[in-house]
Amino acid sequence: MTARLLPWLFVLVMAVGPLWLGDQYILYVLTSTGIFIIGAMSLNLLLGYTGQLSLGHIAFFGIGAYTSALLSLGFDLDLGGAEPFVLGPQPVWVAFLGGILVAALFGFLIGKLAFRVRGAYFVIVTISFAQVMRMVALNWVDLTEGPMALNNIPPLSVWLPWDGVIPLYRKEYNYLLVLAVAVVCFLVIQRLVQSRVGRALVALRENESLARSVGIDVTRYLVVATVIAAGMAGAAGGLYTHYIRIVDPDVFMFIYTVTMVIMVVTGGKGTLAGPIVGGLAFGILPEVLREVARPEVQWIIYGVAMIVVVFFLPQGIVPAVRNWFAGRRKRVAATALGLRKETSA
């Protein structure tokens, strides 16, 4: 019972706490961390459950960000035909959904590819994919403005009974929106991994030959997982683009993928709570350190903390905590049993 209520209590605290604190800086940190946590959750679906390491995951994030930005701003596309293709500005939510769809489409292609090339080759292909995306964003100046970045991206809007449709400029609203999307993504992943589909994904991670021998179409389920993960990363990118309201080719930088991998691995890959715990720890840590240490020292502490976690808790924080509790329960049960034996003897 408590195990069921605990996540919702956590959501409630996260929804009310920061607003109650009312500190704009804390809200900003939590919002950007939350966006990355959504990315990390989607990466966890691939890395943690299907066991495929995609080191180009930020590509889906960036594709979602750029697509959503371009659709909401409108663009014209000159592909050398007689008439350039012109699209006017679209409503922000249409743009947001468009970002998810295009990211999911690229997820489909990468998922198909993942079965031709596996292991180290897949890792290299995904890194290259993200780099190619960065080059496209940098050089297709007509469409993306290149290094000049896309500016003045409209924020997402929401309908409120007391205000009507309002654009979400305020940090509080953006924060709650990110939290809501994170909750939806969490529920989608939870339902998926606890279903027949999720068992097929884990089977692929644990033992691919055995999975095939019992009739699991591993190719298909890997593609399903990649499409969903890419769509979620695209949603995170859309949230980012309409929150920061500027997007440049640097969203495709490798360091962001690494950040998500760190969040997943330290929190506990293949666990539902892992990316959230790891994300909160390593998303907020730099901001906490900024208060107490010089910049150079900050990154040293960050790196040391990461190594310590990976070294002492190789499974990640969440499995370690879970094992500790399970071990304690066993010890308590054993002591109780021992007492009973003593009294009966």
**How far is 182 from 195, CA to CA, in rounded Å?**
20
Binding string to other proteins for residues 104 to 143, with x set by CB under 8 A, is what?
Answer: ----------------------------------------
Can residue 198 be called a binding residue for other proteins (CB under 8 A)?
Answer: yes
Q: Please state the closest distance from residue 108 (CB atom) to other proteins, in A.
A: 13
Can residue 151 be called a binding residue for other proteins (CB under 8 A)?
Answer: no
> Cβ(27)–Cβ(18) under 8 Å?
yes
Q: At what angle do helices 254-267 and 274-292 cross, to 10 degrees?
A: 110
Can residue 320 be called a binding residue for other proteins (CB under 8 A)?
Answer: no
Give the SS3 label for residue 136. helix
Candidates 116, 142, 206, 290; binder of other proteins (CB under 8 A) is 206
Residue 218 or 253 with smaller CB distance to other proteins: 218
Candidates 113, 166, 218, 320; binder of other proteins (CB under 8 A) is 218
Joined together, the tokens standing for residue 265 give: 């691995």
Candidates 40, 125, 228, 273; binder of other proteins (CB under 8 A) is 228
Residue 128 or 323 with smaller CB distance to other proteins: 323
**Counting Cβ atoms within 10 Å, is residue 16 exposed (0-12), middle (13-18) or buried (19+)?**
exposed
**How far is 313 from 318, CA to CA, in rounded Å?**
9
Residue 171 or 269 with smaller CB distance to other proteins: 269
> Cβ(234)–Cβ(104) under 8 Å?
yes
Q: Which helix (H) or strand (E) holds 108?
A: helix 92-114
Can residue 231 be called a binding residue for other proteins (CB under 8 A)?
Answer: no
Residue 198 or 267 with smaller CB distance to other proteins: 198
Joined together, the tokens standing for residue 115 give: 């079965």
Candidates 200, 230, 236, 317; binder of other proteins (CB under 8 A) is 200
Closest CA to 315 of 258, 259, 270: 270
> Cβ(244)–Cβ(65) under 8 Å?
no
Candidates 128, 139, 207, 335; binder of other proteins (CB under 8 A) is 207
Burial 256-270 (b: 16+ CB within 10 A, else e): bbebbbbbbbbbbbb
Q: Please state the closest distance from residue 225 (CB atom) to other proteins, in A.
A: 9
Can residue 344 be called a binding residue for other proteins (CB under 8 A)?
Answer: no
DSSP 22-45: --HHHHHHHHHHHHHHHHHHHHHI
Q: Please state the closest distance from residue 190 (CB atom) to other proteins, in A.
A: 10
Give the binding range for other proteins (CB under 8 A) out of 118-126, 129-137, 190-198, 238-246: 190-198
Residue 160 or 184 with smaller CB distance to other proteins: 184
Residue 172 or 208 with smaller CB distance to other proteins: 208
> Cβ(102)–Cβ(111) under 8 Å?
no
**How far is 144 from 51, CA to CA, in rounded Å?**
34
Candidates 105, 183, 192, 285; binder of other proteins (CB under 8 A) is 192
Can residue 188 be called a binding residue for other proteins (CB under 8 A)?
Answer: yes
Binding site for other proteins (CB under 8 A): 188, 191-192, 194-200, 202-203, 205-207, 209-218, 224, 228, 270
